[in-house]
Chains A and B, each alone.
Chain A
């Protein structure tokens, strides 16, 4: 079964600095999709960024970018110029079409942004 591991339960960053959240996953598939979701205290799950495994180019969305290493099965999230509003739980997720489209989530990383 596919599993997603986030090894950092908590991270903190100074406002305006850069932080990287780690994510590794286990799969034997070659075509799949990876996501980062943000969950602020409101509990609302918000999609931050997504990556298709067949694309070698790393996805970027404004201040958010990923480092996708397919061979290493690693999918880290980099947040540049951190803002107070970035404070939240961040979940890494994996999805494969053949597995009933089940989205597998990691346990999450709580990010604190210090002013």
Chain B
């Protein structure tokens, strides 16, 4: 049981480039989400999904796209990278939508945009 996995662990992009951050979970969780973590701030929600084919925006969605074609995978796409997107990105999943369910986090991807 690998839990939540993310690839890559580190990535450097140039301004304007696009890329996809991968996230997968093997716990059959319906709820998945993407957060970004910036220095001096807590994690902020980018996008989330309550099941395959269903996604919605979080607090800071601009510049990012998501899709959920399977229960296991929830990729995050940066359409045209900007220096403001330099951050650490975390994917998380939980077994239900109720607030008390524990969210399991991946190890994070550190992204630098030059």
Contact = CB atoms under 8 A, between A and B. Distances in A.
Q: Do A and B come from one complex?
A: yes
Give the most central of A4, A32, A96, A101: most B CB within 10 Å. Answer: A101
B26 interface: no
A97 B100 CA distance: 9
Interface in A61-115: 91, 93, 95-97, 100-108
B88 A43 contact: yes
B100 A33 contact: yes
Interface of A is mostly: loop
A44 interface: yes
A11 interface: no
B42 A97 contact: no
B75 interface: no
Interface stretch (B64-72, B77-85, B103-111): B103-111
B48 to A, nearest CB: 7
A91 B100 contact: no
Give the most central of B33, B44, B105: most A CB within 10 Å. Answer: B105
B99 interface: yes
B97 A101 contact: yes
19 contacts: A44-B107, A44-B108, A45-B43, A45-B90, A45-B92, A45-B105, A47-B103, A52-B100, A91-B42, A97-B99, A100-B48, A100-B56, A101-B48, A101-B99, A102-B48, A103-B45, A105-B41, A105-B44, A108-B42
